[in-house]
Amino acid sequence: MIYTHEVDGYNYGSVNFIKSDPNHIPKAKIGVLLSNPTDEQFVGLLVTTESIEASNAIFEELKTQMGTPEILSQEPEANENDQVLGYSAYLWRQKSNHSAILYRSYEHMDDKRNIASSLYLVSNKTKVTDPNQNELVVDRLIRTYK
């Protein structure tokens, strides 16, 4: 993966990303998955945001563009303190031979709910780079988030 925190000007559908203050944890980053570490062929994209607004907007945009997802992990319920903690994950397999996986992490910080999200858009043909593995990247992501 090659990452950038310089996300101004990038968007996913109608969701625009905004660069955060460099003295704080980045609110968003974008990464490109290469077919192998020495190649320049892009085979996937990773979009990460720590903003509840952007996380919800990305989820809605995915449902609008790609339809109803397969649920890999259910959204957690609020605990006795009305905190939602844990994660959920969703999968969209596309006819264009790529998949989208959205991982949502539910947090409670400074008495406020937050959702951080990671969106993976990957080719269904790309294998992990570990030479001892014959696993597809999309299958590894599904196994990780299920």
pLDDT band at 126 (very low <50, low <70, confident <90, very high): confident
Radius of gyration of the chain (CA): 16
> What per-residue confidence (pLDDT) applies to 81?
86
State pTM to two decimals.
0.84
Q: How is 74-141 classified by DSSP, letter by letter? A: PPPPB-TTS-B-EEEEEEEE-TTSEEEEEEEEEEEETTEEEEEEEEEEEETTPBPS-TT---BHHHHH
Query: For the chain, what percent of residues have pLDDT higher than 70?
Result: 86
3-state secondary structure of 27: coil
> What per-residue confidence (pLDDT) applies to 132?
76
